[in-house]
Chain A
Amino acid sequence: MEGVGINGYLAVGAVLFVCGVICMATKRNGIGVLMGVELVLNGANVNFVAFSKFGPLGLDGQIASLFVIVLAAAEAAVALAIVLNFYNNHLTIDVDRANELQG
């Protein structure tokens, strides 16, 4: 059986991370930006779990990724509440319209 080394998993993590960053940077839809954040956190999770198997991290890596997942859920809830509030005030979730603080 041909094993997959740590490099493969780290590469997947990197792709997820970069896609998330691009998503965060380009999407004008508030919820799209949120999805980018989820992708970034997910890429980090892949790395944590990969290190927990291949590296010296042991179970700590898995526990760290559990905390990341839970906090990501909390983050999504708060961010969604903010997006809803923004929508109530502006009737859109286009984040480029959130520019009232510009002088």
Chain B
Amino acid sequence: MELLLFTVFAAAACGGAIAVVLSQNVVRMAFYLVISLGSTAGLFFMLNADFVGATQLLIYVGGTVVLLIFGVMLTASGPFLTIKSSPGDMVQAILVGALFLGMVVVTVLQVDWDGNAAKLESRYGVSSLERPGYNQRGEGHTTRSIGAALLGARFDKDLGKNREQPSTGYLLPFEIVSVHLLVVLIGAAYLARAKRRVNVPSEF
């Protein structure tokens, strides 16, 4: 079952990504991107990362891609705009990309992940089965731990343990990201409202 679901989602994610590369029409690219990102959210659910998957759907698919399509509509100088990339570029890029992909996949396959995990566990003394907050029993129920970790308390690491020093949370990055988002909001609004210097043809 897991294998079946993984195959479906992985095929959709990779197929969508390849279609994004091969397609020339921007809106079709956006549609394939949605397929790819949505199936990636499916992969996240399979990895018991409910909250990340939901965030992916809400922010990426529902927000970012809608924004991208909106951008396409605002900048379209004619219906079904296509800007072709030159075939030479494509061939070069695909060659280099294929080489890089081969390298990464070979590297991934050569690493002995289970052995590494065992080594790390023997060094730090955390068994993968009783990893608190992220164990068999708490599978998929990571929302509360993530929320607490973003506020600086690590339930997944500290609870049930008598640690002298609590583990590091993510309060500071969280605050920085919040301020960053505010800056981005203002900056993007300022950038986008600049006055037009050229007369736009009145087709649209």
- Touch between A and B in complex, CB under 8 Å? yes
Number of A-B contacts (CB under 8 A): 242
Residues of B in contact (CB 8 Å), total 95
Question: Does the CB pair B146–A31 fall under 8 Å?
Answer: no
Q: Which chain A residues in 40-70 approach chain B with CB under 8 Å? A: 42, 45-46, 49-50, 52-56, 58-59, 62-63, 65-67, 69-70
Given A32-B29, A62-B142, decide whether A26 and B108 contact each other with a Cβ distance below 8 A: no
B100, CB-defined interface residue at 8 Å = yes
Task: Report yes or no: B85 in contact with A84, Cβ–Cβ below 8 A.
Answer: no
**Contact status B191-A12, CB under 8 Å:** no
Known: A80-B71, A82-B191. 4 other contacts (CB 8 A): A27-B85, A35-B68, A36-B20, A66-B52
Residues of B within 8 A of A71 (CB): 177, 180
Please indicate the chain B residues that have their CB under 8 angstroms from the CB of A89 in the complex.
197-198
Cβ of A98 < 8 Å from any Cβ of B? no
Q: Is the CB of A42 within 8 A of B40?
A: yes
The residue among A29, A53, A70 with the most chain B CB atoms within 10 A of its own CB is A29
CB–CB A84/B60 < 8 A: no
- Chain B 164-204 interface mask (CB, 8 Å, partner A; 1/0): 00000010010001001100110111011011111011000
Chain B residues whose CB sits within 8 angstroms of the CB of A91 once the complex forms: 77, 198, 200-201
What is the interface of chain A mostly: helix, strand, loop, or mixed?
helix
Q: Report if B159 contacts A (CB, 8 A).
A: no
Q: B200 and A76: CB pair below 8 A?
A: no
Give Cα A91–Cα B70 distance, bound, in whole angstroms. 16
When distances are taken between beta carbons in the complex, the residues of chain B under 8 Å from A22 are 21, 93-94, 97
Identify the closest chain B residue to A10 (Cβ). Answer: B108
B33 pairs with A25, CB closer than 8 A: no
Name which of B13, B145, B185 has the most chain A CB atoms within 10 A of its CB: B13
- Taking a contact as CB atoms closer than 8 A, the residue among A18, A69, A74 that contacts B181 in the complex is A74
Interchain CB contact under 8 A, B64 and A7 = no
Query: Which A residue's beta carbon lies closest to that of B40?
Result: A42
Q: Whole-angstrom distance from the CB of A36 to the nearest CB of chain B?
A: 8
